[in-house]
């Protein structure tokens, strides 16, 4: 890795109770591992991979030698707001990651997408991404409207 490039966004690890949050963070471009595992394994992975551990578990959040963020709310918007404030990152999507598997998405041209998406989508959309791992193709219409609305609500929560 080239250390001279801009500081990378923090890498995250979400515990079993935060699956929805993990999917949204991926969509926003954050490298977010989601693990349904016991505390020991979560702590191990967070430490080894230098990830900020997002958890709703007080005990886990207080473990020494770990970077943790205790997620206080059960409401997704508030959780997102808390994480984004804590890591001081912009709300703009950088390079989105696959909601399902966390792989960085690659851009597809309209020509490449044609034939792989419904015809009306190929005719009306201009921006496509594909997951290199699970092959899912997404376009802004699939969920960007919902995301923008949700992020608006996140911005309003102070």
- The nearer residue to Zn ion, 30 or 60, going by C-beta atoms, is 30
Of 73 and 103, the one with the shorter C-beta distance to Zn ion is 103
Question: Are the C-beta atoms of 150 and 114 separated by less than 8 Å?
Answer: no
Q: In terms of C-beta density within 10 A (0-12 exposed, 13-18 middle, 19 or more buried), how is residue 117 classed?
A: buried
Shortest Å, Cβ 129 to Zn ion = 10
Q: How far is the CB of 140 from Zn ion (least distance, A)?
A: 17
φ/ψ region of 65 (left if φ > 0, alpha if ψ in -120 to 50, else beta) reads: left
What is the nearest approach in angstroms of Zn ion to the Cβ of residue 131? 3
Provide the binding-site residues for Zn ion, judged by CB under 5 A.
98, 100-101, 103, 131, 133-134
- Using the minimum distance from each CB to Zn ion, give the nearer residue, 110 or 137: 137
What's the distance, CA 127 to chain centroid?
A: 19
Q: Which is nearer to Zn ion, 40 or 94 (CB)?
A: 94
Nearest alpha carbon to residue 51 among 91, 85, 80, 22: 22
Distance of alpha carbon 70 from alpha carbon 17, whole angstroms: 12
Minimum CB separation from Zn ion for residue 130, in Å?
Answer: 9
């Amino acid at each position: 890795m080239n250390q001279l490039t801009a500081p990378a966004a923090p890498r995250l690890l979400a515990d079993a109770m935060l699956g929805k949050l993990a999917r949204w963070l991926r969509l926003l471009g954050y490298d977010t591992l989601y693990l349904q595992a016991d505390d020991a394994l979560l702590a191990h992975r967070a430490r080894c991979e230098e990830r900020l551990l997002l958890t709703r578990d007080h005990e886990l959040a207080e473990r020494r030698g770990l970077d943790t963020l205790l997620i206080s709310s059960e409401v997704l918007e508030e959780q997102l707001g808390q994480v984004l404030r804590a890591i001081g990152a912009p709300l703009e999507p950088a390079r989105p990651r696959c909601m399902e598997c966390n792989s960085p998405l690659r851009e597809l041209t309209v020509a490449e997408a044609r034939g792989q998406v419904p015809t009306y989508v190929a005719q009306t959309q201009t921006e496509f991404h594909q997951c290199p791992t699970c092959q899912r193709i997404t376009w802004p219409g699939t969920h960007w409207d919902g995301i923008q609305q949700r992020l608006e609500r996140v911005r309003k929560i102070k």
